[in-house]
Chains A and B, each alone.
Chain A
Amino acid sequence: MIRSTVTRQLVRTVALRQCRYAPVVLRTACVSPNVHNHRFYATKIQPKLTSENYPSVKRNPNYKQLSSEDLNFFKSILTENEILQASESEDLAFYNEDWMRKYKGQSKIVLKPKSVEKIAKIVKYCNEQKLAVVPQGGNTGLVGGSVPVFDEIILSVANLNQIRHFDPVSGILKCDAGVILENADNFLAEHGYIFPLDLGAKGSCHVGGVVATNAGGLRLLRYGSLHGSVLGLEVVMPNGDIVNSMDALRKDNTGYDLKQLFIGSEGTIGIITGVSIMTPTRPKAFNVSFLAVESYEAVQQVFVKAKKDLSEILSAFEFMDSNSQELTKQHLPDSPHPFEDKYPFYVLIETSGANKEHDDAKLEAFLESAMEEELVVDGVVAQDETELKNLWQWREMIPESSQAGGGVYKYDVSLPLKDLYSLVEAANTKLAEAGLVGEAPKPVIQAIGYGHVGDGNLHLNVAVREYSKDVEKALEPFVYEFVSSKHGSISAEHGLGFQKKNYIGYSKNAEEVKLIKDLRTHYDPNAILNPYKYV
């Protein structure tokens, strides 16, 4: 996640300085630094083992322990480069720990097959031997879904990283699951197309991973959910079958729409190895405006107005509360904030379209009347690409800033728009009553709220100095009960994973949960895929 934010955080002077003597054609070569192959963590906290943190979760004794025979089998299929083993000097932390460093498994082995057939053979073997497996993509998940809980074998699709086919007429992209989202998007950009999904972790997360977790992100408002844009999948089932629907068409009404089962399956019932996805044409003109508003009421009014006045060119509508910006200011001391004064709420609006003049005129008219109607107190508009990136950074750097003080409890919920922000207020009250908020040594720094207003999606982040049971007890199940009472969803886009396994009941009724469990048992009777999670 941080990799891409580093790339984005192009501080004007530094980037320009690199280019000061470069001739015109070289100029841009030096402003797109690709920071790769190095892992940054959100926090310096050393994670405790998940098994120690959650003693009530016990290793299922039905699963076999990894033996030397198993190892020999894997070695018979995979080359040396495709197997990573734990040793005294190497604890495989990169694969065992999640990005937030909240969870840590104890897997002794990582398999990184280079072909789908090899994956099928491995999964079939594990199923027969009752070896538990955790499928892993970019490992950027936020609910502990992509790391082992105990000693599960980590099956990474990182080596499946090829673009398979792109049709420049229809815009259908077919690629391996392990293609990094940003690489897929850069590939599409060359052809004038855009990946219909964008999120902060794009420099690390995989196409297969975002499908498996049904990630939402910043472009959902414009391009809709993956349930609509994914056309087909290639999936390895627990019995080793490879189910291939990669040749699927835009319209195909024959039988059950099976791919939908795997979108958001979070590595249960099958491992996604290939994705076929419909991509829209890339907008030529982007505009970003950052606005200050007085109340959450006003945020909603600006949203309604933006939908009406900007209609088809509106591509993002993000809101942020005052505290989220204060935390981010501390984290980015060298970047000037768009406003000198503090305001209760901020809104970031992005428009994208095919005609710059048309978009400019629309946005200008919208902003003018929003100011006249006094919905907006103050605002800035990006005048060049640098400012555009810098304005986005005040939204995109919030997650990182919120954990810079130690750690963060993240709740990603869907709520009816009118109740969206009340959860942040309620959480702050609850934490204050419990006496947990304040200067060190109080554990909680602040609860902040931001999110995708367009999608009714709130991110409640509780920034903490350290992870503690007291904070967790104050927040859970309080947050889930609150969301349930407003008929919202306890997981809008992050999924269930390990964190929310026990809370699905707040969003799904008993019959729905039973159906999910039945399906899981049916396709994965030995429960080898991603155990201890989901439901």
Chain B
Amino acid sequence: MASKQLRILVPVKRVIDYQIRPRVNKLGTAIETTGVKFSINPFDDIAVEEAVRIREKNKSLVESIHAVSIGPSKAQDILRNCLAKGADTSTLIDSKDARIEPLAVAKVLKEVVEKQNANLVIMGKQAIDDDCNNTGQMLAGMLKWPQATNAAKVEFLESGRVEVTREVDGGEEVISASLPLVITTDLRLNIPRYVGLQNLMKAKKKPMEKLALKDFSDVDFEPRLKVNSIEEPQPRAPGVKVNSVDELIEKLKDAKVI
């Protein structure tokens, strides 16, 4: 195994911070983004952490960790954090404010994988803004690589295979695959570390390549889906206090739940 060096690619996305309540804009066409705090997609944060932990566990195993993000120029903030946490190099693909669908993202990532000569992609199972959960699968399909999605545990076996414990309905599924491989991360995989000041300063000196969408001339970025409208969910009706068990039963009967 030690002979086989890992070149890990970690794609990350800048999304509205998950603690912030997203608001629909006045026209009902999109989520309001001005003056809203953005952070790294939490699943991607876990992916970065996992890549760094793989290296910490076995230094000779990992040759490089490269972080890539497609997003506005401000996405370099999250790339900077990836570098501070332990990525060696990074690429920002500036998409301005364009909405890019998973298929196009997967096609771009395929080119990045080939350019970086990566043999392991670790990425979030989904981004919390559109919750698509299909970029990883599409990327694996296009690369004709095996995929291990919703990973809760990742282990490198003596044989050179990778054993991944997956979160599935009602339990866990343990699978193994050979490299190259796409892994998508689930929540239980790890708890990401804080970014240390020393590392944050050092990260400024680490390389960040900047590309634009036009550098990927073979990829069609035109969205195939049209967003008709975005609406807030119905607010939940307030609860009521009942004075007796009889009243409670009455109410439950009225609501046709018993």
Contact = CB atoms under 8 A, between A and B. Distances in A.
B254 to A, nearest CB: 25
B42 interface: yes
B197 A371 contact: yes
B197 A24 contact: no
Contact of B19 (A371, A376, A389): A389
Given A24-B128, A25-B22, A25-B24, A380 B196 contact: yes
Contacts of A383: 39-40, 81, 194-195
A207 to B, nearest CB: 23
Interface stretch (B52-60, B90-98, B140-148, B185-193): B185-193
Contacts of B171: none
A416 interface: no
A28 B19 contact: yes
B201 interface: yes
- The SS class assigned to the B binding surface is loop
Nearest to A31: B19
Interface in A1-37: 10, 12-13, 16-17, 19-20, 23-29, 31
B19 A24 contact: no
Contacts of B194: 290, 336, 338, 380-383, 387, 391
Contacts of B163: none
A356 B81 CA distance: 17
A368 B45 CA distance: 24
Interface in B213-258: 230-233
Given A23-B131, A383-B40, A385-B39, A371 B198 contact: yes
A13 B188 contact: yes
Given A378-B198, A383-B39, A336 B20 contact: no
Interface in A261-292: 284-285, 289-291
Nearest to B39: A384
Contacts of B230: 25
B21 interface: yes
B22 A20 contact: no
A19 B18 contact: yes
A171 interface: no
Contact of A24 (B22, B45, B81): B22
A505 interface: no
Interface in B129-158: 129-131
Given A26-B233, A381-B197, A285 B37 contact: yes
How extensive is the interface on chain A, given as a class? 35 or more
A354 to B, nearest CB: 9
B31 interface: yes
A367 interface: yes
Contacts of A225: none
A34 to B, nearest CB: 12
B62 interface: no
Q: Quick one: which of B18, B40, B195, B200 has the most chain A CB within 10 A? A: B18
B128 A336 contact: no
Contacts of A391: 194
Q: Quick one: which of A17, A284, A290, A384 has the most chain B CB within 10 A? A: A384
Given A20-B187, A367-B197, A384 B128 contact: no
Interface in B3-36: 17-22, 24, 31, 35
B42 A16 contact: yes
Contact of B130 (A17, A19, A24): A24
Given A381-B195, A384-B40, A28 B21 contact: yes
A379 B196 contact: yes
Nearest to A13: B187
A285 to B, nearest CB: 7
A345 to B, nearest CB: 16
A422 to B, nearest CB: 29
Given A16-B42, A385-B39, A28 B198 contact: no
A368 B81 CA distance: 16
A380 B93 CA distance: 28
A376 B201 CA distance: 14
A183 interface: no
Nearest to A372: B201
A386 interface: yes
B196 A25 contact: no
A513 to B, nearest CB: 48
Given A26-B233, A384-B17, 19 more contacts: A16-B187, A24-B22, A24-B31, A27-B18, A27-B22, A29-B233, A285-B37, A367-B197, A371-B201, A376-B197, A380-B195, A380-B197, A381-B194, A381-B197, A383-B194, A384-B39, A385-B17, A386-B19, A389-B19
**Which 10 residue pairs of A and B lie closest in terms of their CB atoms, listed nearest first?**
A385-B19, A384-B39, A380-B194, A379-B197, A28-B21, A385-B17, A338-B194, A384-B17, A13-B187, A16-B187
9 contacts: A19-B128, A24-B130, A28-B20, A371-B198, A376-B197, A381-B195, A381-B200, A383-B195, A385-B20
